[in-house]
Amino acid sequence: MKTRFLSILILKACALGPFPVSSADRSLQQVHDRPNVLFIAIDDLNVWVTHLGGHPQAITPNIDRLADRGLTFENAFCAVPACEPSRAALMSGQRPWSTGAYLNGDEWMQIFEPGQGLSARFKEAGYHTVGAGKIHHSKEFFPSEWTEYMDSSHLKPHGGVPKQQGYHEPLVMDIKDEDIADWYTVSWCIEQMNTKPDKPKFIAAGLIKPHLPFAPPKKYYDAFPLEGIQLPPYKSDDLDDLLEAGKHLAIRNNDFKRFQENGRWKAAIRSYLATCVYTDMNVGRLLDGLDKSPIADNTIIVLWGDHGWSLGEKNHFRKFALWEEPTQMPYIWVVPEMTQAGTRSSAPVDLMSVYPTLCELAGLDLPESLDGVSIVPLLEEPRQYWGIPAITTYGRGNHTIRSDRWRYIRYADGSEELYDHSKDPNEWTNLTGHAELSHVKTRLAAWLPNFEVPVWPGREE
């Protein structure tokens, strides 16, 4: 087992010899020796990154560079495939069925009390906690949970591009890198890396792109000629073996149908790929900034996407569904003296692991309210057996359980889906009606919650 950060405290204590050290001095020394944290959140980034092979034309050298430094989780899944509840779950450490934050519009600031968040835990432990960009939903946060949060009220998140223009090209404006708020989020976080507070740092960088509109500067389109864009795996009859609850999630916005009818499906994919390159550029700026900073050698890095994104798979566009594409996202950890460069884990994990894992690595006590488990054992030994599945929820009563082989979905109306990823990685064949697989469904269903709190009172059930 690899030596952890806090083991250095034992050596320091031995070196002190007979000199008296007060409990206050020991506590202060412990805080100083804790690792820094660079917490990188990316909005709507699916697995279309080069090292995960989600799309053969993806170009993400900087995210790949981060993966080369540490451990990539190849089967990582969100808690909720929607921005607001996904971030509420990750930052609180509590699943939707514990809180009532199930969907976008379930206002997390009305559900939670200040002081429950991950950043608050680190601040209480003596950390200098700073954040910028989209960490919680939109520009919302509890000021008391942060030492400082960048003021972005004067910035245009998408460079002034109207959202309705953002599904595809042509762009309405010839914008520059620095016209998008993410540029300033990164610059501000790099400045924080180089300040000298007498405390360890928790630096949260929330990148908005590739969230709609898919509208980066025009130069990012150069690598993606429209005529050469490759479509994702697709079957026109893919929804035929689903009941109404599953079909509804796929077609409710009719986005994909519109792209098929207007011939802009490839253009939408091109725009998404180009926007991911813009995001990758900003990840590279963060890494370069960290490497040049005084905290370079003692900083944990965790990069996560808040959920995935569909671009035609299962006749679906956007997130808001419980299949592989809208629930899976990149998840990378770099932990000095623990993770090995360029390693991978195929264990199914979800983002409820972020809160307990960071607390354990930093030597912080875990709140009793946490619903997730620490993945420190996997950071230490990625190839070990991991018997805990990933769980994703979208709306009260709708859940999916993802094991290393199977995806099981149960909707609030009792309808089900079952997919065997060892034979069907595209989830084209719903096996729920196969009697010989009933034991698989029973085993996976055991992970479903026994009780789910009601939806937030501000939303209709």
Per-residue pLDDT of the chain (461 residues; tens, 9 = 90+): 433 333 323 332 333 333 333 333 434 445 668 999 999 999 999 999 999 999 999 999 999 999 999 999 999 999 999 999 999 999 999 999 999 999 999 989 899 999 999 999 999 999 999 999 999 998 899 999 999 999 999 898 888 887 666 666 555 567 899 999 999 999 999 999 999 878 999 999 999 999 999 989 999 999 999 999 999 999 999 999 999 999 999 988 788 998 889 899 999 999 999 999 999 999 999 999 999 999 999 999 999 999 999 999 999 999 999 999 999 999 999 999 999 999 999 999 999 999 999 999 999 999 999 999 999 999 999 999 999 999 999 999 999 999 999 999 999 999 999 999 999 999 999 999 999 999 999 999 999 999 999 987 766 54
CATH number at residue 231: 3.40.720.10
Task: Give the list of residues 6+ apart from residue 112 with CB closer than 8 angstroms, or none.
Answer: 88, 92, 99, 101
Residue of 265, 267, 270, 285 lying closest to 180 (CA atoms): 285
Catalytic residue, chosen from 137, 158, 211, 316, is: 137
Phi, psi of 314 (to 5 degrees): 55, 35
Q: How far apart are CA 261 and CA 268, in angstroms?
A: 13
**DSSP letter (8 states) at residue 171:** P
137 included as an active-site residue: yes
Q: How far apart are CA 311 and CA 91, in angstroms?
A: 27
Q: Distance of CA 305 to CAs 46, 210, 271, Å?
A: 7, 10, 18
Is beta strand 128-133 parallel, antiparallel or unpaired with respect to 201-207?
parallel
Asked whether residue 448 is assigned to any structural domain, the reply reads no
* The predicted structure's pLDDT at residue 173: 64
Q: How many residues does the chain have?
A: 461
Q: How many domains, the chain?
A: 1
Asked whether residue 427 is assigned to any structural domain, the reply reads no
Report the C-alpha dihedral over residues 285, 289, 295, 299, rounded to 10 degrees. Answer: 10
* The predicted structure's pLDDT at residue 171: 58
Residue 242: domain span: 37-398
- The packing angle between helices 354-362 and 83-92, to 10°, is 30
Name the 3-class secondary structure at 195. Answer: coil
Asked whether residue 7 is assigned to any structural domain, the reply reads no
Residue of 259, 282, 132 lying closest to 202 (CA atoms): 132
Strands of 281-415 (E only): list them: 299-305, 310-311, 317-318, 331-334, 343-350, 390-393, 399-402, 406-410
Asked whether residue 11 is assigned to any structural domain, the reply reads no
* The predicted structure's pLDDT at residue 98: 97
* The predicted structure's pLDDT at residue 57: 98
The continuous run of DSSP H or E covering 129 comes out as strand 128-133
Asked whether residue 425 is assigned to any structural domain, the reply reads no
Are 58 and 277 in contact, with CB atoms under 8 Å apart? Answer: no
Q: How far apart are CA 331 and CA 41, in angstroms?
A: 10
User: What spatial distance separates the first Cα and last Cα of the chain, rounded to whole Å?
Assistant: 48
Catalytic residue, chosen from 51, 55, 83, 189, is: 83
How are strands ordered across the β-sheet holding 406-410? 390-393, 399-402, 406-410, 416-420
Paired tokens of 374: 């620490």
Asked whether residue 21 is assigned to any structural domain, the reply reads no
From its phi and psi, is residue 324 left (phi > 0), alpha (psi between -120 and 50) or beta?
Answer: alpha
Asked whether residue 422 is assigned to any structural domain, the reply reads no
Q: How far apart are CA 286 and CA 39, in angstroms?
A: 11
439 included as an active-site residue: no
Name the 3-class secondary structure at 82. Answer: coil
Q: How far apart are CA 171 and CA 193, in angstroms?
A: 35
Asked whether residue 49 is assigned to any structural domain, the reply reads yes
